[in-house]
Amino acid sequence: MSILSRVGRSLAPVLLGAAIVTAAPANAEVNVVTSIKPLELLVRAVAPEDVQVTTLVPPGSSPHNYTLRPSQRGALENADLVFWVGPDMETFLIRLLSAEEFQGRTIALSGEEIAEGEHQEEHGHGHDHGHGHDHGESEDPHLWVDPMLALEMAHDIAEALAEQEDADQNAIRQNLAAFEASLTAREASIREQLAPAREIDIFAYHSALVRFTEHYELELAGVLTLNPELSPGARHVAEVQDKLRAAAHPCLLTEPQFNRQWWRSITEGLNVTFSTWDPLAMDIPATETGYLDFQQSIADAILQCLPEDTQH
Ligand SMILES: [Zn+2]
Ligand SMILES: [Zn+2]
């Protein structure tokens, strides 16, 4: 496959004359824009190597309160395909992606369309993927942390890539099959690794961890802030502090995107173990195994909290 594409590229100048006759140039580069890094990892898992991927939300930023830089408009305008989770997640893209010029090349991987005017509308999308729990139960928009929802996203990405002109259909199909096999195996291995973590009470900074804990049947005892864009109200903080106090082995999973001082101060004097995970996978290399590494990194962050692994 890689040999074929290399041959194809070296022949390109020779064939240029012929290409003028057939309207579309062979080997036209496919430019993909993804809103957040985990979607880039899914594209890398299924896309042929020559597909270019640009991610909008940079390290250190959160999609919940991001503002698109003017310089990023160009990448969006030149994109053959734009993948985002959807209007419940990347609110900063709603207005831009509603524009007519993005119709037909923008794919919301949640399956949610931009609703005219009302974006806070309730979305009921119950679909059971036959892997033990119904994903329709939860309304949480951080879909990509659930490995089976991510697999579904990879299917949608593969389908969109395969529809591009001159797409390498075989490579995409093979990559998707390989990804499905390796993700299924990794999911089973992580499920086994996480079994002892059912004994601890996990607290998360915001709801990004919900679908991961649901998928692997772990106890998410509390979420510090219901809306990561705002500081939580005093009553919610007091409730979480009570839960932390009552918990057996409370483990607080913090995130690099959000203020450290704030959660340090609300856990002052409580016996809490801290661990950090990154729902945006910023330190994970964007390779074809990146999504598997991302899943493992979440599991590892939780395993850091197990009493025998903590340094007291
Ligand atoms: Zn979030
Ligand atoms: Zn699941």
CA 222 / ligand 1 centre spacing (Å)? 15
Q: Which ligand is nearest to the CA of 57?
A: 1
Q: How many residues does the chain have?
A: 312
- Single-letter residue type at 185: A
Q: Which helix (H) or strand (E) holds 84?
A: strand 81-84
CA 67 / ligand 2 centre spacing (Å)? 30
Q: Which 3 state secondary structure label does DSSP give 150?
A: helix
Q: Rounded to the nearest 5 degrees, what angle is found at the Cα of 193, between the Cα atoms of 272 and 150?
A: 95
pLDDT tens, residue by residue, 172-210: 999 999 999 999 999 999 999 999 999 899 999 899 999
CA 159 / ligand 2 centre spacing (Å)? 21
Indicate the DSSP class of residue 278: -
CA 72, 75, 77, 78: dihedral to nearest 10 degrees? 170
Q: Which ligand is nearest to the CA of 91?
A: 1
Cα 35 to Cα 40, 66, 80, 97, 145: the distances in Å are 8, 10, 14, 11, 15
Q: From CA 203, how far away is CA 78, in angstroms rounded?
A: 41
Q: Which ligand is nearest to the CA of 134?
A: 2
Give residue 127's pLDDT band: very low, low, confident or very high (50, 70, 90).
very low
CA 126 / ligand 2 centre spacing (Å)? 12
- Residue ranges of alpha helices (H) inside the chain are 2-21, 37-46, 72-78, 94-97, 147-162, 169-193, 210-215, 234-246, 260-266, 290-303
CA 128 / ligand 2 centre spacing (Å)? 9
Q: Which ligand is nearest to the CA of 65?
A: 1
Same fold yes or no, 28-112+137-189 and 195-309: yes
Instruction: Show the tokens assigned to 290.
Output: 């990146």
CA 215 / ligand 2 centre spacing (Å)? 4
pLDDT tens, residue by residue, 27-66: 568 999 999 999 999 999 999 999 999 999 999 899 998 9
Q: Which ligand is nearest to the CA of 206?
A: 1
CA 168 / ligand 1 centre spacing (Å)? 34
* Range among 124-128, 130-134, 176-180, 231-235 rated most confident: 176-180
CA 125 / ligand 2 centre spacing (Å)? 14
Contacts 24+ apart (CB under 8 A), 230-234: 231/262
Q: From CA 222, how far away is CA 293, in angstroms rounded?
A: 26
Give me the mean pLDDT over the 119-142 stretch.
60
Map out the domains of the chain as residue ranges.
Answer: 28-112+137-189, 195-309
Q: Which CATH architecture group holds 195-309?
A: 3-Layer(aba) Sandwich (3.40)
Give me the mean pLDDT over the 62-75 stretch.
93
CATH 3.40.50.1980 for domain 28-112+137-189, yes or no, is: yes
What pTM, to 2 d.p., does this model score?
A: 0.85
| pLDDT recorded at residue 117 | 55
Give me the mean pLDDT over the 67-80 stretch.
95
Q: Which ligand is nearest to the CA of 142?
A: 1
CA 50 / ligand 1 centre spacing (Å)? 30
Q: Which ligand is nearest to the CA of 190?
A: 2
Cα 178 to Cα 86, 119, 182, 291: the distances in Å are 26, 36, 6, 13
pLDDT tens, residue by residue, 209-233: 999 999 999 999 999 887 777 777 8
Q: Which helix (H) or strand (E) holds 106?
A: strand 106-108
Q: From CA 85, how far away is CA 110, in angstroms rounded?
A: 5
CA 276 / ligand 1 centre spacing (Å)? 14
Q: Which 3 state secondary structure label does DSSP give 33?
A: strand
Neighbours of ion ligand 1 (CB under 5 A): 208
Q: Which ligand is nearest to the CA of 64?
A: 1
Residue 269 backbone class (left: φ over 0; alpha: ψ -120 to 50; beta: rest): left
| pLDDT recorded at residue 23 | 47
